Amino acid sequence: MTLHRTYPPRLPIRPAEQPVDAIVRLPGSKSLTNRALVLAALADGVSVLEGALLSEDSWVMVDSLRRLGIPVDVDEPAERMIVQGKGGTLPATRAELFVGNSGTTARFLTAMTALGHGEYLIDGVPRMRERPIQPLLDALAQLGVQAESLLGTGCPPVRVRSHGLAGGTIRLRGDISSQYLSALLMIGPCTRDGLRIELESPLVSVPYVEMTLAVMADFGAIATHEHAQVFHVPGNQRYRSRAYAIEPDASAASYFFALAAATAGRIRVVNLGTRSRQGDVQFVNLLERMGCTVIREPDALTVIGKRPLRGIEADMNAISDTVPTLAALAPLADGPVIIRNVQHIRYKETDRIAAVANELRRLGITVEEFPDGLRIEPGPVQPAVIRTYGDHRMAMSFAILGCAVPGLEIDDPGCVAKTFPDFFERLEAALGRR
């Protein structure tokens, strides 16, 4: 796959010369692509994933599935992946899986390897070795699987030793990452007895679990829940192979909607509308509260910006991947922007609460940091080099602010390859420069 564009170590962002006015087509959803890859791998027969995301996060998933003995062919120009499912079995009895800094890949594969008969090692980049996975390991242990953090930190590298999975009852934390629950839900149909999963704490990022259940249903498996606290997955189900269309990435769309807000322009994102299964489409609701106009259609969303933006207070637990996007717009508002209930994003590619606060302060913006969020005061933005901490969302969010104010440079712009390798080219196109 062609993942990396040639970028300088620091990329200056040129402000827009005029309000943006563009129709934007975006790459496929990372969250949907990696879920569909797992379920296609567990299905009977050949599945064809259309519109799949071609990025580091999806590539490490593809590579890992191949190492587990599941053939995956990638047609890059067509954005198509062809998966030869193995009916809930893993052909490989030993495998070393490198997951980069992909949380979905690490968590999903840790659970998936519990279905195998053998020994599997899951590891990633240094930051992945700081991202917690112990609640998932504890859950698998309750099912009789030997799953351990090899460094004793509760983080990767992880070793899984399994002799198949009968099923049973699990008690699981829900307040660190919804990916633990999604990982277990997806393997549940392939167990003999099914799974009952009882959450011990409130669930974060609920829309991502709803997405998981919807994609499972698309591949022919059912699961139910009681008030998002107790989940039931019947065993001895069979995922069915199929052709599957993956919609554009709603988290990626947030940057272009924010571009309309930042430049008082107009952006229409096509093939992503009110029918979307992704919670992050609700980011436009926040822009609407800030004074933008939003036009909602079944297969498109349009944002028309208006400056100055209004300050707002928002609980962003359900759409936490868009926290940096909103934070980067905050200096342009006419009042404070307050973000709450997102403590779990401290465990993402970087501690996103601390990283956002640090970089806004570098720009001369006053920020108060809470355990679960931020208060950002509007104000003039001074020139600075934005550190990205290897986090794609930091790079893309602050690039949008750079389209509205002069003097911003993005350090390590190539980190966008994680989910959006050609982001800066598409940004230039939306600005009418390509």
Continuous segment of H or E residues that includes residue 362: helix 352-362
Q: Please tell me whether the peptide bond between 157 and the residue prior to it is cis, using omega within 30 degrees of 0.
A: yes
The catalytic residues are 321
Buried (b) or exposed (e) across 347-376, using 16+ Cβ within 10 A? bbbbbbbebbbbbbeebebebebeebbbbb
Q: Which residues pair with 160 in a beta bridge?
A: 120, 147
CA dihedral 63, 154, 278, 21 (to 10 degrees): -80
CA distance 165 to 194: 9
Residue 108: closest CA among 199, 36, 29, 205: 36
CA distance 391 to 371: 20
Pairing of strands 384-386, 408-411: parallel
What's the angle, vertex CA 214, arms to CA 65 and CA 165, rounded to 5?
A: 50
Tokens representing residue 135 in the block: 């609640």
Cβ neighbors of 150 (< 8 A, separation 6 or more) are 121, 157, 158, 159
Residue length, the chain? 434
CA distance 302 to 309: 17
CA distance 61 to 44: 19
Q: Please tell me whether the peptide bond between 336 and the residue prior to it is cis, using omega within 30 degrees of 0.
A: no
Tell whether the torsion through CA atoms of 58, 72, 247 and 340 is positive or negative. negative
When computed from its CA atoms, the radius of gyration of the chain, rounded to whole angstroms, is 21
Continuous segment of H or E residues that includes residue 267: strand 266-270
Residue 31: closest CA among 378, 316, 276, 333: 276
